[in-house]
Amino acid sequence: MLDANIDYEIVEEPVLPRSRRRAVIEATGQNRLPAIELDDGSWWHDDSHELAAAIRSGRLAGDS
């Protein structure tokens, strides 16, 4: 597991049906995961490889 010194909380979402992912749908307009809710309340929805690359580079922590 990647340790980027970022505080986080894992929130379990239903696998199926995807329509039960209400918080994700309301925030992103989509029912797909992964999605990250940032400290400012905004959400980032992207491919898992893109999210992991951003975390590794420090972009998620605001270091870029």
Domain that holds residue 24: 18-57
Is 8 part of a structural domain of the chain? no
Write phi, then psi, for 36 (nearest 5 degrees): -120, 130
* Model pLDDT, residue 30: 92
Tell me the whole-structure pTM to 2 decimals: 0.69
Residues 6+ apart with CB under 8 A from 37: 27, 43
| Mean predicted confidence (pLDDT) in 14-26 | 92
Per the structure, how many domains does the chain have? Answer: 1
**What is the pLDDT averaged over residues 15-42?**
91
A 10 A CB-CB count for 29 gives: 9
Q: Is 57 or 1 the better-scoring residue by pLDDT?
A: 57
Q: pLDDT at residue 21 above 80?
A: yes
d(Cα 45, Cα 58) in Å, to the nearest integer?
17
Check pLDDT > 50 for residue 23.
Answer: yes
**pLDDT the model gives residue 1:** 46
